[in-house]
Amino acid sequence: MKILAVATQKGGVGKSATTQALGVVLANAHGRRTLMVDVDPQSSLTLACGVTAEERSLAEVLDGKAKLGDVLVELDKNLWLAPADIALANTELFLAAQLGRETVLKRALVAAGSRFDVCLIDCPPSLGLLTINALTAADAVLIPTQPQVADLRGVRLFLSTLEKIREVLNPSLETLGIVATFYDNRLLHHRDAIETMKAGGLPLLPVFIGRSVRVAEAAAAGQSVITYEPSNKQTAAYRELAEIVNQWLNDPRKT
Ligand SMILES: Nc1ncnc2c1ncn2[C@@H]1O[C@H](COP(=O)(O)OP(=O)(O)OP(=O)(O)O)[C@@H](O)[C@H]1O
Ligand SMILES: [Mg+2]
């Protein structure tokens, strides 16, 4: 099983929507046994999958009270979710005092790894212990960002955080790349930000996710835009992004 964390400390940039869309496409179109893990106490991904708070959650796993397999929800053929709930906020405090606090998620995933081909971790918008756990468990990280010059400072800060994670916790962590979200090519400041990223040598992926109200509508309806509106332009963009992830999964350097 390869593990991809979808992360950055900035909020509202489409991390959860991207995780869900990738999960649906990798499971349905590529036939990958896909596990999505929601490590955000806000539980946006869990809710967008139509899973309610009554289900058991990842908090129990990280608290050592359950195994990952006990909390998984089967969403579709090849697609599972380890749901979040607000209890994860307490878990983050609990973890702080534990020995091996950065590797709790990694150990839980390794134990369940043979059941899946790929694991996608949807991170909270912070650099707290839950995100650190995700980046320590991951083989690679995907960084969504809105293409605005003001946000690029945050992206650079996040890239330097990844360097620290590599030095201390996870030397083999790859950067899959940065994906621009809410992109509108009619906006000069968006085009400027893209050019700035390219000129600065940032690892920008050649896929641009645009804004569509259908993405938010789909989340409110408990599904991804992929199934909600298959003909949507953003569905096509997410499929392109999933193709990049699929190629990375085929990369024999790691399995
Ligand atoms: N491409 C898109 N077009 C329009 N709306 C979108 C798009 N992607 C996400 N959204 C909506 O924007 C909001 C934020 O997206 P999302 O929850 O995916 O971001 P996030 O980075 O996970 O946020 P947080 O940092 O709070 O976890 C949600 O209401 C979501 O439905
Ligand atoms: Mg989110």
CA of 125 to the centre of ligand 2 (A): 7
Per-residue pLDDT of 87-134, as tens digits, reads 999 999 999 999 999 999 999 999 988 899 999 999 999 999 999 999
Residue 211 alpha carbon to ligand 1 centre in Å: 10
User: What is the rounded distance in angstroms from the CA atom of residue 218 to the CA atom of residue 202?
Assistant: 31
What is the C-alpha end-to-end distance of the chain, expressed in Å? 6
- What is the C-alpha separation between 199 and 72, in angstroms, rounded? 43
The predicted model gives 226-244 an average pLDDT of 97
- Residue 3, judged by CB atoms within 10 A of its CB (0-12, 13-18, 19+), counts as buried
At residue 46, the pLDDT reads 96
Dihedrals φ, ψ of 55, to 5°? Answer: -70, 160
Rg, C-alpha atoms of the chain: 17
- Band of pLDDT at residue 255, cut at 50, 70 and 90: very low
- Please determine, for residue 54, whether its predicted confidence score (pLDDT) is greater than 80: no
Residue 12 CA: nearest ligand 1 atom is: 23
Single out the residue of 141, 133, 124 nearest to residue 96, CA to CA: 133
Higher pLDDT, residue 237 or 251: 237
The number of angstroms, rounded, from the C-alpha of 10 to the middle of its chain's C-alpha atoms is 13
Q: Which pLDDT belongs to residue 53?
A: 62
How is residue 36 written in tokens? 């999505």
Mean pLDDT of 224-237: 96
Give distance in angstroms: CA of 191 to centre of ligand 1.
Answer: 21
Which DSSP helix (H) or strand (E) runs through 206?
strand 204-210
Q: What is the mean pLDDT of residues 145-166?
A: 96
Q: Does the structure show a pLDDT above 80 at 227?
A: yes
Per-residue model confidence as pLDDT tens digits over 23-40: 999 999 999 999 999 999
- Whether 254 has a pLDDT exceeding 60, the answer reads no
Give the atom of ligand 1 at the shortest distance from the alpha carbon of 219.
31
What is the mean predicted confidence (pLDDT) over 4-32?
Answer: 97
144 φ, ψ to 5°?
Answer: -75, 140
Kindly write down the DSSP assignment for every residue of 88-124, as one continuous string.
HHHHHHHHHTSTTTTSHHHHHHHHHGGG-SEEEEE--
Residues 6+ apart with CB under 8 A from 18: 6, 142, 144, 179, 181, 209, 238, 241
- pTM, two decimals, is 0.97
What does the pLDDT average to over 232-253? 94
Residue whose CA lies nearest to ligand 1 atom number 13: 12
Atom of ligand 1 at shortest distance to CA of 210? 1
